Amino acid sequence: MSVTLHDYLPSGNGYKVRLVLRALNQPFRLVEHDIVQGATRTPKFLARNPNGRIPLLELEDGTCISESHAICWYLAEAHASRLLPDELLARTRVMEWLCFEQYNLEPNVAVRRFQRHSLNKPPGMLGEAGEKWLRDGHAALAVVETRLEGREWLVGDEPTLADYCLYAYTHVADEGDFDLRRHYPRIVAWLERVAALPGHVPITWRPPG
Ligand SMILES: N[C@@H](CCC(=O)N[C@@H](CS)C(=O)NCC(=O)O)C(=O)O
């Protein structure tokens, strides 16, 4: 038996959990839900997660954990992984980046990408919201670019949850019209480092079986 991940393959939030499970070398069963068709809003899904969203990790005893970063944190703790540093201030720095991702990066970079890539809307149809996502998304990416000056990883000298969790939407930012190669050379180099880590899989990967 292994854990079950309720997910939607193009989701960066889901991909964070897939990346961390792979980094921890943990097998998992993937159950896909078509969020565009409202599959996470059914009574059956809402009984597992009243917030109606993937990713959702279902443990072997049926316990469910929602919120991508809570799931990743749980997995790193459960497997006593080095993805969470021992030292308090370093762990707090990881949490800082996870909060930043959820408040500044994901709501802009991921939301614009969802509209452009998953819903296939042209830029002109996004209106003022589309402009705001672009502006605020660039501001968030600039913070990451600055952080990476003279460093390989976001926290400390080794990859942590912060790198895995910020990688997920940053690596597909181009799908939301954020031109990484043009504006963010350090981010591009960091993305390549994350992609070279053991167990790495692309966002389109499904576990066997
Ligand atoms: N803060 C949550 C966000 C989860 C979320 O927004 N999930 C989206 C896909 S990326 C979803 O399930 N949307 C379906 C819906 O809202 O019906 C996390 O980090 O997991």
Q: Which protein residue's CA is at the shortest distance from atom 5 of ligand 1?
A: 53
| Per-residue pLDDT at 134 | 98
CA of 150 from ligand 1 middle (Å) equals 33
| Per-residue pLDDT at 81 | 87
| Residue written as token pair 């605020």 | 136
CA of 170 from ligand 1 middle (Å) equals 16
| Per-residue pLDDT at 44 | 97
Q: Using N-to-C axis directions, what is the helix angle for 68-78 and 12-23, rounded to 10°?
A: 10
Q: Which protein residue's CA is at the shortest distance from atom 1 of ligand 1?
A: 67
CA of 149 from ligand 1 middle (Å) equals 31
83's CB contacts (< 8 A; 6+ apart) are 20, 23, 24, 72, 76, 159, 160, 161, 164
Low-confidence residues of the chain, pLDDT below 50?
A: none
| Per-residue pLDDT at 39 | 98
Tens of pLDDT along 69-96? 999 999 999 998 899 999 999 999 999 9
| Sheet containing 56-58, strands listed edge to edge, beginning at the edge strand earlier in sequence | 28-32, 3-7, 56-58, 64-66
| Per-residue pLDDT at 1 | 66
Closest CA to 117 of 68, 171, 167, 173: 173
Q: Which protein residue's CA is at the shortest distance from atom 10 of ligand 1?
A: 11
